[in-house]
Amino acid sequence: MKKYVVAMVDEIAPGQRKIVEIEGRSIGVFNVHGAFYAIRNRCPHAGAPLCEGVVSGFVTSKSPGEYIYSRQGEILRCPWHQWEFDVKTGQSYFDPAKTRVRTYQAEVEAGCSLVCDDGTGMAKGPFVAETYQVALEKEYVVVVIE
Amino acid sequence: MEKDLAVKTRTGVIDCDVHHAVPSMAALYPYLSERWRDYVKEHNIKSLEPNYYPRGNPLSARPGSEPSPGALPGSDLGLLQRQVLEPWSVQYAILHCLYGVQMIHNEDLAAQLAQAVNDWQVAEWLEKDSRLRASIVVPSQNPLRAAEEIHRVGKHPGFVQVLLLVRSEKPYGKRYYWPIYEAAEQYGLTVGIHAGGVTGYPIMPVGWPSHYIEDYVSHAQAFQSQLISLVSEGVFVKFPRLRVVMMESGFTWVPSLMWRFDKNWKGLRREIPWVDRLPSEVMRDHIRFTLQPLDEPPKPEILLKVIEQMGSDEMLLFSSDYPHWHYDEREEALPAGLPVDLERKILFENARAVYRF
Ligand code: FES
């Protein structure tokens, strides 16, 4: 398990995303109502950069003409053929069991805990060295790669 | 061969598309109210024979199906018994009266004529031979009145289906038509969509064709449009027990439509969120097709492939389409080379599962 610091928390506002590169993989990190989710930026259908798609809600219905709109900000739509994926689980709408995208654990960690870490389990993410001067009083988004 | 077929099926064939004909407007007089009887006479309306199968056109009628010179094929019960019911050892035959009721712009007259045709069907056909079943003719010009007609006769055990014609004023999935589906579902009737109908719109979305052959071949497009509309508008979500039988539509186009529909649903289903499963699955559950006229691939095994690609052996219903002429020998109505199980399904099992016999 390796952890990568990918952004400062206030860099990705709610509803926004940041696409980062970790170990040669493109990964989208999404802020959904204050919580962070990381998902592979590659659509299982034809390989589109999935994380560049529209983030929207989930539209369902019990009867024609009736629209139930829920989970706003949690449904990612592929920019190419508009398949819908759950940002939180990577599952597709129409085939949740088989058509899914890899997700990764994303979490918020205090600069203090990152700096105080004595090296166990903490790899230097692409941005740790170049971009982020980890400050004790700030919070960071960390993606965990198994 | 005919005997073979009878043995094969034992319980008898169910012929899901047979045409009987109103011999002349005068045949309906006893079933019209006085006001409308006089109206029809005074306006000199002699026939509403729609000419979908123009006389003299080689597809129109099998040789020998005219009861007498000049009389309309399908207008004589005895001949129909001898040419369809007996040789096929028919258990049930579903009659479809193609009369121009749906083409009349005066909906009051259309509603009256629909009633008259239905009462004529009961008295002259259904009550004379227990093997016969029929579709209710409705004034589809006004779906509320069409529903009233279904309520009027829907309990009669001879009726098993409501007849609509494929060329409509609006796509049949629209809520405008839902009173018809609601009533049909209530009585356990299927909705049969048959080739034909005249609404002022060209059969081709690109404009009017020049020839009968173009009109005839293009019908498949009209069926596809109706099918797409019925599924997309959620008719089968709203009326989950409803089944639609497409008659004279052909069916070899079904697999490619399923593929296209499914593919696009994956990306566009948010528009129609009530369609919460693949359109092809909805089609398999709710849509059926009659066999004749068959789009006949050059080799029997290709037809089997098509059926395999449809993903269901329950969608096809045997039909002779009597008296229309699509094949020479009677036994050719059933394509050669089908496995026995599939033959049984097509000849009667599938129909039993769909119609309220
Ligand atoms: S590549 Fe994503 S839906 Fe086709």
Contact yes or no for B20/B49 (Cβ under 8 A): no
Residue B15 phi, psi dihedral angles, 5° rounding: -95, 110
- Which residue CA neighbors atom 4 of ligand 1 most closely? A81
Number of domains in chain B: 1
CATH of domain A9-116: 2.102.10.10
DSSP state for residue A83 in the 8-state scheme: -
Complex ipTM value? 0.82
Angle at A105 (CA atoms; ends A102, A110), nearest 5 degrees: 155
Residue A85 phi, psi dihedral angles, 5° rounding: -130, 145
| B238: its two tokens | 């709203």
pLDDT of residue A126: 43
C-alpha dist (Å) from residue B343 to B150, B195, B246? 33, 25, 19
pLDDT of residue B71: 87
Residue A39 CA to ligand 1 centre (angstroms): 15
Q: How far from each other are the two terminal CA atoms of chain B, in whole angstroms?
A: 27
Q: Does A70 touch chain B (CB under 8 A)?
A: no
Question: Domain spans of chain A?
Answer: 9-116
Q: Does A46 touch chain B (CB under 8 A)?
A: no
Please name the residues between 118 and 177 in chain B that touch chain A, using a CB distance below 8 Å: 175
Measuring CA to CA, which residue among A20, A3, A2 is closest to residue A11? A20
Question: Is residue B33 classed exposed, middle or buried when 0-12, 13-18 and 19+ CB atoms within 10 A define those classes?
Answer: exposed
DSSP state for residue B347 in the 8-state scheme: I
- Which residue CA neighbors atom 3 of ligand 1 most closely? A81
Higher pLDDT, B254 or A139: B254
pLDDT of residue B58: 67
Query: What tens digit of pLDDT does each residue of B108-160 get?
Result: 999 999 999 999 999 999 999 999 999 999 999 999 999 999 999 999 999 99
- A68: chain B residues, CB-CB within 8 Å: 273
* Cα B161 off chain centre by: 9
pLDDT of residue A116: 55
Instruction: Note down the domain range covering B238.
Output: 5-354
Q: Does B274 touch chain A (CB under 8 A)?
A: yes
Model confidence band, residue A133 (pLDDT cutoffs 50, 70, 90): low
Pairwise CB contact (< 8 Å): B270 & A84: yes
Contact yes or no for B176/B143 (Cβ under 8 A): yes
| Chain mean pLDDT for chain B | 93
Query: What tens digit of pLDDT does each residue of B64-108 get?
Result: 888 988 888 899 999 999 999 998 889 999 999 999 999 999 999
Mutate to test the interface with B, among A82, A83, A95 (most CBs of B within 10 A): A82
Strand partners, A142: A5, A107
Q: How far from each other are the two terminal CA atoms of chain A, in whole angstroms?
A: 4
Contact yes or no for B90/B84 (Cβ under 8 A): yes
- Asked if the peptide bond before residue B293 counts as cis, ω within 30 degrees of 0, the response is yes
Query: What tens digit of pLDDT does each residue of B167-197 get?
Result: 999 999 999 999 999 999 999 999 999 999 9
- Alpha helices, H only, B10-85: 34-42, 77-80
Distance between CA atoms of A27 and A126, rounded to whole angstroms? 13
Instruction: Return contacts of B101-105, CB within 8 angstroms, 24+ apart.
Output: B101/B48, B101/B137, B101/B139, B102/B137, B102/B138, B102/B139, B102/B140, B102/B141, B102/B164, B102/B165, B102/B197, B102/B198, B103/B48, B103/B50, B103/B197, B103/B198, B103/B199, B104/B48, B104/B141, B105/B141
Query: What tens digit of pLDDT does each residue of A5-54 get?
Result: 999 999 999 999 999 999 999 999 999 999 999 999 999 999 999 999 99
- Alpha helices, H only, B293-356: 300-310, 340-344, 350-354
CATH number, domain containing residue B192: 3.20.20.140
- Asked if the peptide bond before residue B323 counts as cis, ω within 30 degrees of 0, the response is yes
Mutate to test the interface with B, among A81, A85, A92 (most CBs of B within 10 A): A81
Average pLDDT of span B267-285: 97
Number of A–B residue contacts, CB under 8 Å: 42
